[in-house]
């Protein structure tokens, strides 16, 4: 037996889909427009608020759709720092969303921009060795509505609009391609959330075929690559996905991307002591960055409990940066915000789901606590 379909979040629907529902209900088209306004422009959190729609219509809608499908389970951090939101989904699973108040160095953002780091999946299948998100494996894709709802919930909670979106939360966005691109269309649309495409960055572990596909996507979004290794030999130890799509395949896909796009690519490169922080890696990275015309974000590794690696000294970090800069590569060293609140993605959710017994802690000796190593 197939389980009943859960009520659909209206935040994941485009006007044409809403119009089709109203046609089916035998309702005039202007009513569909009214609903779109309630959902997006007025951000109605309940059907009761939609006072210009007939009561019977609202009741009919409420049997099939929901205005909200998730709730804020926990907020850490404060208004002038990085705030992390743990969100509870309709099926009892959790994802994280991180609000970063001012972020001068990131993605062409200005210093007064509020950036939201959004999740695209519950868990992750790619098993990057530095990351807490994949520690307990992959559970499911988020729907387009669940992706959009993260922004809507955080904006309502914070009482302010978000200017920049980065798909760098839990999950691999390009492994959830159709829901991701639908969410981006809704987030970008004037009738939707109204965030400029150039202020949205999709970050990927390097799924080469999907990068080529995304190059054809009409909205001018930005792309960041989680590189973390500048040679196959080093990258393979950090990111198993490199065995599926090695650096040559990845860079061929990036050529396709660059052929279609004017914006600079970004390479994310986490510096991990004695693994990828040596001077030869810095030279290899400089060469790769020049070949792909990419800017580089260096991120000192955040300790994840249960994982063996450590952050290099600041001198090592600075020496690595200096190689890139001298080679003419635009590079920043991002001394992480939110280090104290588990801002490395996936850690809060892992702790929550472990404590609730939804998943077993993947850390054998430490079955419960995931440190606040951020
Ligand atoms: N799957 C996508 C989106 C996840 S974002 C991708 O791989 O790009 C992944 C990013 O989160 C990394 O590039 C890094 O910037 C950050 N990150 C995750 N774990 C981290 C850690 N332990 N320390 C520092 N940054 C981390």
Q: Assign residue 242 the CATH number of its domain.
A: 3.20.20.70
**Could you tell me if 135 and 97 lie in one domain?**
yes
For residues 40 and 90, membership in a common domain is answered with no
Band of pLDDT at residue 56, cut at 50, 70 and 90: very high
Neighbour-count burial for 60-94, b at 16+ CB within 10 Å, e otherwise: bbeeebbbbbbeeeeebbeeebbbbbbbbbeeebb
Question: Which of 31, 51, 66 is the last residue before a domain boundary?
Answer: 66
Give the separation between CA 164 and CA 146, rounded to whole angstroms.
Answer: 18
Strand partners of residue 66: 9
- Shortest-distance Cα residue to atom 26 of ligand 1: 344
Name which residue leads in pLDDT, 298 or 131: 298
Closest to 107 in 3D by CA, of 263, 259, 327? 263
Identify the band that residue 360 occupies on the pLDDT scale cut at 50, 70 and 90: low
330 lies in some domain = yes
pLDDT value for 340: 43
How many domains, in total, are found in the chain?
2
Residues 178, 213, single domain; the answer is yes
Give a yes or no: residue 371 inside a domain.
no
Domain of 78? 71-355
Residues 47 and 153 in one domain: no
50: domain CATH number? 1.10.150.530
**Active-site residue among 16, 96, 131, 185?**
96
Q: Are residues 144 and 30 in the same domain?
A: no
Ramachandran angles phi, psi of 163, nearest 5°: -100, -25
Q: Is the same domain home to 256 and 325?
A: yes
- What is the pTM (predicted TM-score) of this model? 0.90
With respect to residue 139, please indicate whether it lies within any of the assigned structural domains.
yes
Work out the number of other CB atoms within 10 angstroms of the CB of residue 346: 24
Check if 57 has its Cβ closer than 6 Å to any atom of ligand 1. no
Catalytic site residue 345? Answer: yes
Same domain, 185 and 60: no
Q: Calculate mean pLDDT across residues 97-110.
A: 64
Residues 45 and 90 in one domain: no
Judgement on whether residues 290 and 316 belong to the same structural domain of the protein: yes
Structural domain contains residue 127: yes
* pLDDT tens-place string over residues 246-278: 999 999 999 999 999 988 899 999 999 999 999
Residues 157 and 291 in one domain: yes
**Å from CA of 226 to ligand 1 middle:** 7
Among this protein's residues, is 128 annotated catalytic? Answer: no
The answer, yes or no, to whether any atom of ligand 1 lies below 6 A from the CB of 172, is yes
Whether residue 55 is found in the same domain as residue 130:
no
Q: Tell me if 176 CB under 6 Å of ligand 1.
A: no
142 lines ligand 1 (CB under 6 A): no
- Which segment of 5-9, 94-98, 172-176 scores lowest on mean pLDDT? 5-9
Identify whether residues 81 and 122 lie together within a single domain. Answer: yes
- 296 in any annotated domain: yes
Residue 345 has pLDDT above 60, yes or no: no
């Amino acid at each position: 037996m197939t389980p009943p379909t859960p009520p659909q979040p209206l935040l994941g629907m485009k006007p044409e889909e809403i119009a089709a529902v109203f046609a089916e209900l035998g309702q005039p088209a202007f009513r569909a427009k009214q609903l779109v306004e309630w959902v997006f422009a007025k951000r109605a959190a309940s059907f009761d608020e939609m006072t210009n729609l007939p009561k019977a219509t609202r009741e009919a809608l409420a049997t099939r759709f929901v205005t909200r499908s998730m709730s804020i389970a926990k907020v850490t951090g404060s208004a002038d720092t990085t705030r992390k939101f743990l969100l509870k989904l309709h099926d009892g699973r959790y994802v994280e969303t991180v609000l970063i108040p001012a972020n001068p160095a990131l993605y062409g953002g200005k210093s007064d921009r509020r950036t939201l780091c959004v999740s695209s999946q519950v868990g992750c299948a790619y098993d990057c060795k530095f990351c807490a998100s994949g520690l307990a494996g992959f559970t499911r894709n988020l729907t387009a509505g669940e992706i959009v709802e993260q922004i809507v919930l955080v904006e309502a909670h914070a009482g302010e609009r978000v200017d920049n979106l980065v798909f760098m939360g839990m999950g691999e966005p390009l492994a959830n391609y159709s829901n991701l691109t639908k969410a981006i269309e809704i987030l970008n649309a004037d009738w939707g959330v109204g965030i400029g495409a150039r202020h949205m960055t999709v970050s990927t572990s390097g799924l080469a075929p999907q990068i080529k596909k995304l190059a054809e996507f009409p909205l001018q979004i930005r792309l960041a690559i989680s590189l973390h290794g500048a040679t196959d030999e080093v990258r393979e130890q950090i990111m198993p996905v490199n065995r599926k799509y090695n650096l040559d395949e990845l860079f061929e896909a990036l050529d396709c991307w660059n052929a279609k796009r004017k914006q600079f690519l970004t390479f994310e490169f986490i510096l991990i002591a004695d693994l990828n922080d040596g001077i030869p890696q810095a030279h290899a990275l400089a060469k790769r960055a020049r070949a792909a015309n990419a800017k580089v974000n260096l991120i000192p590794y955040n300790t994840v409990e249960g994982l063996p690696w450590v952050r290099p000294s600041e001198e090592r970090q600075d020496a690595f940066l200096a190689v890139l800069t001298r080679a003419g590569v635009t590079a920043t060293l991002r001394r992480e915000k939110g280090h104290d609140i588990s801002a490395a993605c996936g850690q809060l959710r892992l702790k929550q789901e472990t404590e609730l017994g939804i998943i077993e802690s993947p850390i054998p000796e430490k079955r419960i606590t995931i440190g606040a190593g951020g």
